[in-house]
Amino acid sequence: MILKTPVPYDAFHFYIVPKGTTLYRGFPRVRDGKPVRDDFHFVTTHKEAASKYGVPFPLVTDREYKLVALDHKETLDLLYASAPPPIQRILDENYGHGTIRNSVFDNDVQFSKYLCTLGHDGYATRKMENRDAGRPDFHEELMFCDTSHLQIGETDLTDSQIEQVMLRMREKEHARQLKKSRKRKTSRSPPKFTLDGFKTPGGGGRRKTRRLMKPLFTTTRSA
């Protein structure tokens, strides 16, 4: 087991990942048989889990890492208490306050950037319950802020298999961007109402007009 009992340090608890540990990451982009590095990496402890995210490559740490234990309740409570509201919302919705995981890429990236600004090496969690009922538990997850000490090995996939994975990842990314675009359009379109106060689907429908009634009495202004 790579993620052993969290170790306390300065109020937080951390998972210690020793030098020489082999991990796996699915890289969505590969050029000339080599993975394209990102600013930081989400990795896991098993190749099968990494394969869901791209072409699986082994990563070997060439130094020790100390990763914040996000599934440790007291640690998460402390992190939550000092975080700005947008980060608190992500911790509630996507990290289930340490019990239920709901991975949403953009939110995961936003939280990771925030955690990295605090000077941490990254974070780690053991298996967590998946928010979607019926789906298996979310795999062990590790996020590294500094990837320069993760030495990338060779994948065991053939060139043909790599192309198949790359095609699948491009289709997946296209679907994700399309979903984001639709969500933005929906949020930009405020509800439209007729003069009677009834909502018209899509802002359409015939607009009703009202006749202005003549006043029954008139008033004269005295000099």
| Residues 38-71 pLDDT 10s | 776 789 999 998 998 899 999 999 999 999 999 9
Whether the model pTM is above 0.75: no
Local structure of residue 154 (DSSP, 8 states): -
Residues 64/16, Cβ–Cβ less than 8 Å: yes
pLDDT at 220: 43
Residues 64/122, Cβ–Cβ less than 8 Å: no
Pair type for strands 65-69 and 122-125:
parallel
DSSP 3-state of 65: strand
pLDDT at 188: 65
Rounded to the nearest 5°, which phi and psi values hold at 212?
-85, 125
pLDDT at 134: 58
pLDDT at 15: 96
pLDDT at 221: 44
pLDDT at 88: 94
What is the token pair recorded at 1?
């087991």
Burial 199-209 (b: 16+ CB within 10 A, else e): eeeeeeeeeee
Cα–Cα dist 74/153, whole Å: 36
In the β-sheet with 55-61, what is the strand arrangement from edge to edge?
Answer: 22-27, 55-61, 150-152
pLDDT at 179: 80
Local structure of residue 140 (DSSP, 8 states): P
pLDDT at 210: 47
pLDDT at 37: 83
What is the token pair recorded at 165?
């994975």
Residues 26/55, Cβ–Cβ less than 8 Å: yes
In the chain, which stretches have pLDDT less than 70?
Answer: 40, 97-100, 130-137, 187-223
